[in-house]
Amino acid sequence: MTETPLPKASEPVPTVELVTELAPGDLDDLIDATDSAISDGGGFGWVRLPAREVLERYWRGVMTMPSRILFVGRMDGVICGTAQLITPQKNNEAQNFSVTMTTVFVAPWARGHGLARMMVEKMEEVARDEGYSAINLDVRESQDVAIKLYESMGYVHFGTHPFYARVDGKIIPGRYYYKVLDPSGLKDRPEIDLV
Residue 141 · residue 173 · CB < 8 Å: yes
Per-residue model confidence (pLDDT) at position 100: 97
Please determine, for residue 192, whether its predicted confidence score (pLDDT) is greater than 70.
Answer: no
| Range scoring the smallest mean pLDDT among 74-83, 88-97, 108-117, 183-192 | 183-192
DSSP 84-121: EEEPPPTT-GGGTTEEEEEEEEE-GGGTTSSHHHHHHH
The residue type found at 88 is: P
Please determine, for residue 136, whether its predicted confidence score (pLDDT) is greater than 80.
Answer: yes
Per-residue model confidence (pLDDT) at position 135: 98
Express as a percent the part of the chain with pLDDT over 90: 74
Residue 86 · residue 99 · CB < 8 Å: yes
Nearest to 112 by CA among 11, 6, 187: 11
Specify the higher pLDDT residue, 184 or 2. 184
For residue 139, the surrounding DSSP H or E stretch is strand 134-140
Q: In sequence order, what are the beta bridge partners of 17?
A: 72
Place 2 in a pLDDT band, splitting at 50, 70 and 90. low
Per-residue model confidence (pLDDT) at position 194: 44
The Cα–Cα gap between 143 and 177 comes to 14
CA 116 to chain CA centroid, nearest Å = 7
Please determine, for residue 172, whether its predicted confidence score (pLDDT) is greater than 90.
Answer: yes
Please determine, for residue 1, whether its predicted confidence score (pLDDT) is greater than 70.
Answer: no
Could you read off the pLDDT of 11-47 as tens digits, one per residue?
889 999 999 999 889 999 999 999 999 988 876 788 8
The Cα–Cα gap between 158 and 135 comes to 13
CA-based torsion, 162, 117, 22, 67: positive or negative? positive
Nearest to 87 by CA among 98, 71, 73: 98
Tell me what the mean pLDDT of segment 143-155 comes to. 96
DSSP 149: H
The residue type found at 53 is: E
Please determine, for residue 189, whether its predicted confidence score (pLDDT) is greater than 80.
Answer: no
Tell me what the mean pLDDT of segment 67-77 comes to. 96
